[in-house]
C-alpha cells in the first residue's frame, strides 16, 4: 500500500470512528436506498475528501437512466457509484447495471456499495463489456489503527485519485495475477531457463522447449488461466513489453556515425606573411 499523508490518514481514521455507528444504526433501522445515498454523500465529503457540492453528483443521467452518484474532478467523470440500500446484500446483477452505466460514458471505474460493503471494479472495454473486481472491503470491519485498512480507503480518496494510486494498485495486482504469471511461464526466456535447470538434473536426457511448454499447458497450469480475454490481454501485454525492449536494445547498440573531421587549415606560407620594410 502507498504511504498515506498524515493529514489524510487522520481524516480517514476519524471518519471510520464517526460513520461506523451511523451505518450500523442505518442497517438496524433498515433504511432505504435514498437515505443510504444521503449518508454516502457525507462519506465522500468528510472521509474521502471530495467537494460534496461540485465533485459529487447525485442521480447522474446516462442515456435515459440514472446512476446514484458520480465523482467528477476538473469537470471530468472519474467514478460511477451504484448504491443499494444498506440492508441489501450486493449481487452480481447489481454490478452489471453499474458497469453498463460506466461503459456508456467511457468511465473505467465503478464502485458498488450499500455503505457497509464496498466493491471497486475496473471496466474492461472488450466485446462484450466485462468488469474485474479490483478491491473490496467491509466498512464496519475497518480499523482506524490499521495502516493497511486505511490504505483501502485511501485508494478512492480525492488525494489518492489525483496521484493515480488506484491505477498503481491495479497494475501491481495485474502483475501478480494468475493470468500474467501463466503468460510469463510460457515465454521463451522462462521456458529456456526451465530447460537449463532440467538439463542440470538430467544431463543425458534430451529435453526440448516445446516439450516443456506442452507439459505446462496440459498438466501444470490450470485451463482457465490459459483461456479467455484475460489470458489474451496478458499475452499481448507481455509481447508489447518484449517488443519495446527489443527496439530499445537495437537503438542502444546501433553504431553511431563519427563526427565529420574538420579540414585542416593550411599553414600559411612564408610568402603569404607580410614582412616589415627595413628602414
Is residue 142 within 8 A of residue 153, CB to CB? The reply is yes
Model pLDDT, residue 12: 97
The Cα–Cα gap between 178 and 201 comes to 27
In the chain, what are the domains? Answer: 6-175 (3.90.1570), 178-250 (no CATH)
Task: Supply the pLDDT for residue 31.
Answer: 95
Residue 65, pLDDT score:
57
Confidence at residue 21, expressed as pLDDT on a 0 to 100 scale: 98
Distance CA 193, CA 169 (A): 30
CB crowding 227-250: b at 16 or more within 10 Å, else e: eeebbebbbeeeeeeeeeeeeeee
pLDDT of 255 reads 60
Q: What is the pLDDT of residue 128?
A: 81
Encode 186-224 in three state secondary structure: CCHHHHHHHHHHHHHHCCCCCCCHHHHHHHHHHHHCCHH
**Could you report how far apart the first and last alpha carbons of the chain are, in Å?**
93
Peptide bond before residue 190 is cis, with ω within 30 degrees of 0: no
CA 224 and chain centroid, separation: 22
pLDDT digits (tens, 9 = 90+) for 3-41: 899 999 999 999 999 999 999 999 999 999 999 999 999
SS (H, E, C) 91-104: CHHHHHHHHHHHHH
Identify the pLDDT of residue 92.
78
Contact 129, 106 (CB under 8 A): no
> What CA–CA distances, in Å, run from 279 to 149, 270, 274?
101, 21, 15
Residue 273, pLDDT score: 39
**E strands of the chain, at which residues?**
56-62, 65-73, 76-83, 109-113, 117-124, 130-138
Query: For the chain, which residues score pLDDT lower than 70?
Result: 1, 59-66, 252-279
Residue showing cell 507481455? 238
11 with 84: CB under 8 angstroms?
A: no
pTM for this prediction? 0.72
Secondary structure class of 276 (helix, strand, coil): coil
Q: How many CA atoms lie within 13 A of 64 on its CB side?
A: 0
Cα separation, 94 vs 110, in Å, equals 11
Amino acid at each position: 500500500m502507498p504511504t498515506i499523508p498524515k493529514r489524510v490518514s487522520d481524516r480517514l481514521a476519524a471518519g471510520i470512528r464517526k460513520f461506523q455507528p451511523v451505518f450500523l444504526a442505518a442497517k438496524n433501522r433498515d433504511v432505504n436506498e435514498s437515505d443510504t445515498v444521503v449518508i454516502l454523500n457525507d462519506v465522500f465529503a468528510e472521509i474521502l475528501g471530495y467537494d460534496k457540492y461540485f465533485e459529487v453528483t447525485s442521480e447522474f443521467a446516462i442515456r435515459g437512466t440514472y446512476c446514484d452518484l458520480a465523482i467528477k474532478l476538473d469537470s471530468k467523470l472519474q467514478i460511477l457509484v451504484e448504491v443499494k440500500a444498506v440492508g441489501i446484500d450486493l449481487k452480481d446483477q447489481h454490478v452489471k447495471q453499474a458497469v453498463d452505466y460506466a461503459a456508456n460514458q467511457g468511465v473505467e471505474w465503478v464502485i458498488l456499495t450499500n455503505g457497509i460493503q464496498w466493491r471497486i471494479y475496473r471496466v474492461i472495454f472488450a466485446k462484450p463489456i466485462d468488469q474485474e473486481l479490483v478491491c473490496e472491503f467491509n466498512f464496519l470491519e475497518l480499523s482506524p489503527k490499521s495502516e493497511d485498512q486505511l490504505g483501502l480507503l485511501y485508494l478512492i480518496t480525492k488525494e489518492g485519485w489525483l496521484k493515480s494510486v488506484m491505477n498503481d494498485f491495479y497494475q501491481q495486482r495485474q502483475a501478480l495475477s494468475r493470468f500474467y504469471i501463466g503468460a510469463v511461464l510460457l515465454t521463451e526466456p522462462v521456458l529456456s531457463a526451465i530447460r537449463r535447470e532440467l538439463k542440470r538434473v538430467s544431463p543425458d536426457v534430451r529435453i526440448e522447449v516445446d516439450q516443456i511448454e506442452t507439459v505446462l499447458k496440459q498438466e501444470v497450469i490450470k485451463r482457465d488461466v490459459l483461456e479467455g480475454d484475460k489470458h489474451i490481454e496478458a499475452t499481448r501485454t507481455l509481447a508489447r513489453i518484449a517488443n519495446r525492449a527489443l527496439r530499445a536494445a537495437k537503438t542502444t547498440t546501433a553504431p553511431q556515425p563519427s563526427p565529420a573531421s574538420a579540414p585542416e587549415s593550411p599553414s600559411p606560407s612564408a610568402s603569404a606573411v607580410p614582412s616589415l620594410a627595413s628602414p
